[in-house]
Amino acid sequence: MRLPHRLVLIALLVLVRALPAQAQAPVSYRVSFTAPEHRWMQVEVTFADVPAGPLQVHMSRSSPGRYALHEFAKNVFDVKVKDGRGRALTPRQPNLHQWDVTGHDGTVVVSYKVFGDRTDGTYLSVDATHGHLNMPAALMWAKGLEQRPSRVEFVPPAGQAWRVATQLMPTGNPLVFTAPNLQYLMDSPTEVGTFTLKTFTVDDGKAPAQTFRVALHHDGTEAEADAFAKDVEKIVRETLPIFGEFPRYDGGTYTFLSDYLPWVNGDGMEHRNSTVLSSPGALRVPAQRQGIIGTVAHEFFHSWNMERIRSRGVEPFDFADANSSSDLWFGEGVTSYYDALIVHRAGLQSLDDLLGDYASLINSVTLSPGRTFRTAEHMSELAPFVDAAVSIDRTNWQNTFISYYTWGAAIGLAMDLSLRDLSGGKTTMDDFMRLMWTEYGVPGMKGAPGVVAKTYTAEDLQGRLAQLSGNPTFAREFFAKYVQGHEVADYAKLFARVGLVVRKRAAGQAWLGGAPLQPGTGGVRVGVVPFETALYKAGLAQDDVIQAINGVEVATPQAVNDTVAAIRPGTSVAIRFVRRSGGAPVTSTVTLDEDPRVEIVTAESAGVAVTAEQQALRAAWLAPRARR
């Protein structure tokens, strides 16, 4: 459409008038820990050069990388508002998350206290040892001022030498930081306290070399901190060759904000130039450390895949509502596929453990009833219901949902092995990730920090798979079957190609279908019963109590398993149980299936012939790639 000349001029004049008169004063925060032992902190935020009219001040309802609503306003109290002359103003609250301030003089100062007692990647935690801030849980912001820079000053408790670890931009004052806009500010978790700091640099051949900081709040020894930082460096170095380069982190620095203490909650949350890692586990316990390292690998991979290779569905992030994307199977699931692979390539997880992880992915996706109801894309869209979302009513997720982490990881595994299969090992998932990086991640970084300028869609993912494989039919069928359909890849065939055998892990043994069992009153209480399994068909549901199987009284889960193990698959036997609702015991017939779950082992260990080509393909897939 073309406007007549005169109308264009008028339109331009209107536009110019509508622009604010060079009023871009930064939003200024002062965050004080006056009595941290009481688990609240004091925030004072000054909005200056505020346009005339009401200023809408908000507390966020969601947080980048967390897709459910979290209602952060619930922990805010003692809210006071004044103008630039110190005059008290009374805000109106049109809803629980918003304070509308009228009658100001161009400056609005909001002060409040905010309570926080959960250390993880989503919430706020304040105590005598630290302030652990996820910004949406901590800082108010104003509508219309989202593009303004901000300044954040941290005020430690009196007499305490607390330091600050954050991806916020440093200034000459070690307690003062800046952010270029609201998206970046909200994406910048911050640890204030007396953490251990380890630093290393890794050169990817491009200037400047990127610096990595590990800010570690834990109760272990200095030697444990050193060993952990060395493992983090191994993960960083092993991730690099997949993409060929690091993102140019804003400020040239990436920070691991790590809290490993008995009283914290396990989590990992990705951000643009940092991650929050929290675990109640300890670095000194090998089994706990393995999980901790897996989370390191996962979140660091996100600094490419999610933070810069970013789905259109979550950009820009909406702090006032739940965020939903059909691509989380790729953003989260493929990242999960890689975290285990990277930990293995880095020498920090055995082949048996890796194959155990992959077998459990295959078992979950193959056997979960949810696959028949929704696709991997639909599962992704459910994130606001399942991603750290709490409901007090019971759900039937075990029957209707498969985590997009699990399903997406299984799809990533199938995509990688299919590409290797089709190309004889010349093309891999690493190439696919690198293509996504050059086509979306690199151009995505051309915008302001905190903003991804070029995003991808599902069509893009499929198109790039067609481009990389040179086989549009393969790409179309792969997406139609496994991403937008309900099918499971032929993992046995794909693993055979790399000299690995997928086989029943308990061939010839019966099972009840995988319902959780626990000791109950007068028998064994069952958890959610998966659809169409033996117990389901026999009429059992959650909280029913099994008393006897095949005439054998069972008092413990072990007794149930032992009794079932003694019966041949395909056999029908009597099962006596009491319904949750009580009444007389019910006797029904249960027909036992063969345990369908698989395991993955090397062809050599299974006594299966393996060719040199299969061995070479396997080695190319699993071998370390980092330069050491």
Tell me which residue has tokens 């036997």. 573
Backbone torsions φ then ψ of 55, nearest 5 degrees: -105, 125
Backbone torsions φ then ψ of 511, nearest 5 degrees: -150, 165
Number of residues that bind Zn ion (CB under 5 A): 1
What's the distance, CA 499 to chain centroid?
32
* Least CB distance to Zn ion at residue 433 (A): 15
Residues 535-574: x where in contact with Zn ion by CB under 5 A, - otherwise, as a string: ----------------------------------------
| Distance of alpha carbon 33 from alpha carbon 161, whole angstroms | 12
Is the Cβ of residue 333 or residue 449 nearer to Zn ion in the bound state?
333
Count CB atoms within 10 A of the CB of residue 585.
Answer: 14
* Cβ atoms of 440 and 247 closer than 8 Å: no
* Least CB distance to Zn ion at residue 237 (A): 21
* Least CB distance to Zn ion at residue 341 (A): 15
Is the Cβ of residue 120 or residue 332 nearer to Zn ion in the bound state?
332
Q: Is 120 in the site for Zn ion (CB under 5 A)?
A: no
Residues between 332 and 391 that touch Zn ion (CB under 5 A): 332
* Least CB distance to Zn ion at residue 305 (A): 9
Is the Cβ of residue 299 or residue 599 nearer to Zn ion in the bound state?
299
C-alpha dihedral (173, 176, 177, 178), degrees to nearest 10: -110
Backbone torsions φ then ψ of 38, nearest 5 degrees: -90, 5
Is the Cβ of residue 26 or residue 65 nearer to Zn ion in the bound state?
65
* Cβ atoms of 40 and 116 closer than 8 Å: yes
What's the distance, CA 79 to chain centroid?
32
| Distance of alpha carbon 503 from alpha carbon 498, whole angstroms | 15
* Least CB distance to Zn ion at residue 270 (A): 6
Is the Cβ of residue 307 or residue 332 nearer to Zn ion in the bound state?
332
Please report, as a single letter, which amino acid is at residue 94. P
Question: Which DSSP state fits 169?
Answer: E
Residue-by-residue DSSP string for 304-328: TBTTTB-BGGGSS--TTS----TTH
DSSP H/E element including 8 = helix 5-18
* Least CB distance to Zn ion at residue 279 (A): 15
Alpha helices per DSSP H over 488-576:
491-497, 534-537, 557-565
Q: Residue 214, class by beta-carbon neighbours within 10 Å (0-12 exposed, 13-18 middle, 19+ buried)?
A: buried
Say if strands 598-602 and 510-511 run parallel, antiparallel, or are unpaired: unpaired
Tokens of 93: 């609250």
Q: In 3D, which of 70, 38, 236, 90 has the Cα closest to residue 137?
A: 70
> If DSSP codes are grouped into helix, strand and coil, which group holds residue 181?
coil
Is the Cβ of residue 412 or residue 520 nearer to Zn ion in the bound state?
412
Tokens of 220: 């272990």
* Cβ atoms of 477 and 568 closer than 8 Å: no
Is the Cβ of residue 275 or residue 375 nearer to Zn ion in the bound state?
275
* Least CB distance to Zn ion at residue 70 (A): 17
| Distance of alpha carbon 590 from alpha carbon 571, whole angstroms | 8
* Least CB distance to Zn ion at residue 267 (A): 10
* Least CB distance to Zn ion at residue 413 (A): 16
Is the Cβ of residue 328 or residue 465 nearer to Zn ion in the bound state?
328
Residues 307-336: x where in contact with Zn ion by CB under 5 A, - otherwise, as a string: -------------------------x----
Tell me which residue has tokens 């690493």. 430
C-alpha dihedral (586, 589, 594, 599), degrees to nearest 10: -10
Is the Cβ of residue 238 or residue 332 nearer to Zn ion in the bound state?
332
* Least CB distance to Zn ion at residue 298 (A): 5
Number of residue whose CB is nearest Zn ion: 332
* Least CB distance to Zn ion at residue 339 (A): 8
Is the Cβ of residue 46 or residue 326 nearer to Zn ion in the bound state?
326
Is the Cβ of residue 250 or residue 332 nearer to Zn ion in the bound state?
332
* Least CB distance to Zn ion at residue 302 (A): 6
Is the Cβ of residue 210 or residue 335 nearer to Zn ion in the bound state?
335
The binding site for Zn ion (CB under 5 A) comprises 332
